[in-house]
Chains A and B, each alone.
Chain A
């Protein structure tokens, strides 16, 4: 990470921790208003559903290429369902990652999903999950490339439920 990015990250984290309301208003300004909501509803019981996680908290495998914080990195990371908690980490600059690095389940609760699969609450945990870096102001590439890729992956894997977790 470039030193300029490091300073930017420290300022952003201090800003959100000390002025959460102002941070919310700042974020709100960068979001375009979308009309309506997508009408996708579950057609079968949860006990028969395949469930996947999608996190924008910058989650990825430790062995994977981290998100590049010096650019608006819109690329996706695939997290295998068999990944263990200790194999995961986070790369992000707009929230304090020290907590998520101690315990990644606070942004990526895959272990809890596996327990629910064991107890039969959900049908199964997907064998792929998605990590994204949500610290992006220009969303064009995310909408053009990343989202269609994720939708295709999830459709090919017959995912019934995607749980979205921010950072």
Chain B
């Protein structure tokens, strides 16, 4: 899961989170910034293959 509010998702017990530094309402970056979009999706998929409980920070 992408998270914009890591303390909240930690409390809910989400198995895997990717913390992104974007604004609320823009979890995959700014409109038409498709390069960032690709990075977010690639990092989310990388996260999916990791064990439950993994917390990742988005890498620019």
- Which residues of A line the B interface, CB within 8 A? 16-17, 20, 23-24, 27-28, 31-42, 46, 49, 51, 57, 92, 95-97, 99-100, 102-103, 105-107, 109, 112-113, 115-116, 121-122, 161, 163-167
Question: Whole-angstrom distance from the CB of A52 to the nearest CB of chain B?
Answer: 11
Number of A-B contacts (CB under 8 A): 118
Which of B3, B45, B51: most chain A Cβ within 10 A?
A: B45
When C-beta atoms are compared, the residue in chain B nearest to A16 turns out to be B24
Which B residues are CB-close (under 8 A) to A38?
13, 15, 52
Contacts A/B (CB < 8 Å), 28 sampled: A17-B24, A20-B24, A24-B7, A28-B7, A32-B11, A37-B52, A37-B53, A39-B52, A41-B51, A46-B48, A99-B31, A100-B31, A102-B32, A105-B34, A106-B25, A106-B27, A106-B29, A106-B31, A107-B25, A107-B28, A109-B37, A109-B41, A112-B38, A116-B45, A163-B2, A163-B48, A165-B2, A165-B28
- Is the CB–CB distance between A35 and B5 below 8 Å? no
User: How far is B23's CA from A100's CA once the two chains are assembled, in angstroms?
Assistant: 12
- Which residues of B line the A interface, CB within 8 A? 1-5, 7-8, 11-15, 23-32, 34, 37-38, 40-42, 44-45, 48-49, 51-53
Cβ contact of A161, chosen from B24, B42, B48, cutoff 8 A? B48
- Known contacts A46-B48, A99-B25; 17 additional CB pairs below 8 A are A17-B23, A24-B8, A28-B11, A33-B13, A38-B52, A39-B15, A46-B45, A49-B48, A99-B31, A109-B28, A109-B37, A109-B40, A116-B42, A122-B45, A163-B41, A163-B44, A167-B25
- Is the CB–CB distance between B25 and A95 below 8 Å? yes
Which A residues are CB-close (under 8 A) to B5?
24, 27-28
User: How far is B34's CA from A23's CA once the two chains are assembled, in angstroms?
Assistant: 28
